[in-house]
């Protein structure tokens, strides 16, 4: 035992067993920390800084080839982006909605100075839907639930070339002092992203690159990004094909996401930090829990634990709320003029009944997610062996 001598006797402060128990508990907590020693880095050099001149030239050549025959993302448009726009509505230039230091990501990504976020317009997923029913077969966007639809799914913003984009990266680094460059919704512009990173390297960029994606990436996209991206930030949305077909307009979403996430992990591994708690390399996976779809979330986290890594850093997100067309009143697909032209008899107006419930669109997701649903997904993740979570701590901030 430990103690001190008083008047020739030793007074016990606390027993050795208590010391051992306290130490064991401390070691257990330390082992279960996302900053455990195996995930700590002394220093870090971004992967693009290590590319040889020959590797850079090969990637530039491949990027231009893909722009001339757009076949990188799973939509496989096949268009020449220098002449036409694809399903994403973006051509050879990129459309940027916002470029600024950003403090809305996980603390290990944003840090004290923020991350240099580049919010791209356009997207290759249809979480907002798409219908080809306008003149000249031009897509009409029909938003379903996208949490960021005003940026990602509207062609709002300014056009920049990859070279101009690279200049913005360097400004974010040198003027904004950001910890990394966070490319938000870049799945549809991978060739331009590749060209911009390579040019930014020549301009003096030295911070890590974050690829913030819906996971609807082809394996070819991830291969082209190999050596350029330090942190992959994928969002695995839904599991069942019927759900992804209805809400994302891509019934193959889960199979594509599984393949792309495994390819991302094969490149950069588990999320690693420097001693200041800033992530430098690895995969940080997000799952936005959808109301009523927690069972799909459980399937996702179980698959991640069994097929990717039990040390995967996971953020089970709770901020879903109805956006865009979720909850809007349903509209008839055939207008009154078309019905009259077809000789249909117009129905007589019914008396208004306030108790009559109006039919609304995507009613199943027309409510915020409940914390019980979020917690059930989190519990399933823990039971499957996952343990590194981006959780809110007791003092209201996030802990790593």
pLDDT at 33: 62
pLDDT at residue 56 tops 80? yes
pLDDT grade for 57, boundaries at 50, 70 and 90: very high
pLDDT at 54: 97
Question: pLDDT tens-digit profile of 241-263?
Answer: 999 888 888 888 999 999 999 99
pLDDT greater at residue 290 or residue 280: 280
Question: pLDDT tens-digit profile of 347-370?
Answer: 444 444 444 455 555 677 788 889
pLDDT at 37: 85
* Measured torsion, CA atoms of residues 373, 374, 377, 381, in degrees rounded to the nearest 10: -160
**C-beta neighbour count of 394 within 10 angstroms:** 7
Q: What is the DSSP string of 233-273?
A: EEB-----HHHHHHHTS-TTHHHHHHHHHHHHHHHH-B-EE
pLDDT greater at residue 392 or residue 122: 122
pLDDT at residue 395 tops 90? no
pLDDT, the chain, mean? 78
146 is in an annotated binding site: yes
Q: What tokens appear for 13 in the block?
A: 């402060």
Residue 203 and residue 205: Cα distance in Å, rounded? 6
Least confident of 31-40, 75-84, 251-260: 75-84
pLDDT at residue 93 tops 60? yes
pLDDT at 267: 98
pLDDT at residue 83 tops 80? no
Residue 272 and residue 36: Cα distance in Å, rounded? 9
123 is in an annotated binding site: yes
Q: Would you say how long the chain is, in residues?
A: 400
Residue 195 and residue 69: Cα distance in Å, rounded? 16
pLDDT at residue 15 tops 60? no
Percentage of the chain exceeding pLDDT 70: 66
Question: pLDDT tens-digit profile of 181-240?
Answer: 999 999 989 999 999 999 999 999 999 999 999 999 999 999 999 999 999 999 999 999
pLDDT at 220: 92
Scan for tokens 């590749």, then name that residue: 194
């Amino acid at each position: 035992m430990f103690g001190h001598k008083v008047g020739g006797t030793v007074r016990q402060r606390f027993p050795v067993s208590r010391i051992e128990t306290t130490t064991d508990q401390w070691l257990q907590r330390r082992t279960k920390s996302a900053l455990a020693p195996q995930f700590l880095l002394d220093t870090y050099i971004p992967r693009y800084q290590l590319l040889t001149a020959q590797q850079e030239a090969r990637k530039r050549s491949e990027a231009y080839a893909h722009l001339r025959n757009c076949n990188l993302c799973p939509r496989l448009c096949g268009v020449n982006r220098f002449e036409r726009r694809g399903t994403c509505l973006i051509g050879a230039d990129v459309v940027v909605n916002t470029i600024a230091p950003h403090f809305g990501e996980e603390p290990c990504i944003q840090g004290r100075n923020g991350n240099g976020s580049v919010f791209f317009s356009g997207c290759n997923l249809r979480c907002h839907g798409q219908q080809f029913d306008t003149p000249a077969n031009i897509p009409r966007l029909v938003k379903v639930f996208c949490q960021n639809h005003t940026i990602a799914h509207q062609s709002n913003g300014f056009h920049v070339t990859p070279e101009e984009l690279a200049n913005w990266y360097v400004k974010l680094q040198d003027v904004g002092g950001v910890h990394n460059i966070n490319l938000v919704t870049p799945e549809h512009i991978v060739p331009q992203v590749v060209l911009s990173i390579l040019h930014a390297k020549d301009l003096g960029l030295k911070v890590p690159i974050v690829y913030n994606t819906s996971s609807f990436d082809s394996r070819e996209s991830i291969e082209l990004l190999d050596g350029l991206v330090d942190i992959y930030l994928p969002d695995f949305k839904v599991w069942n094909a019927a759900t992804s077909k209805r809400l994302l307009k891509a019934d193959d979403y889960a199979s594509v996401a599984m393949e792309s996430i495994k390819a991302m992990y094969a490149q950069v591994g588990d999320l690693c930090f420097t001693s200041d708690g800033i992530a430098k390399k690895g995969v940080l996976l997000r799952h936005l829990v959808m109301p009523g779809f927690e069972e799909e979330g459980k399937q996702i986290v179980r698959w991640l634990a069994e097929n990717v890594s039990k040390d995967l850093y996971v953020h089970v997100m709770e901020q879903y709320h109805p956006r865009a067309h979720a909850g809007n009143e349903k509209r008839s697909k055939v207008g009154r003029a078309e019905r009259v032209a077809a000789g249909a008899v117009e129905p007589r107006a019914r008396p208004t009944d306030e108790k009559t419930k109006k039919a609304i669109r995507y009613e199943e997701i027309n409510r915020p997610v409940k914390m019980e649903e979020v917690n059930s997904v989190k519990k399933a993740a823990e039971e499957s062996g996952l343990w590194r979570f981006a959780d809110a701590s007791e003092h209201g901030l996030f802990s790593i």
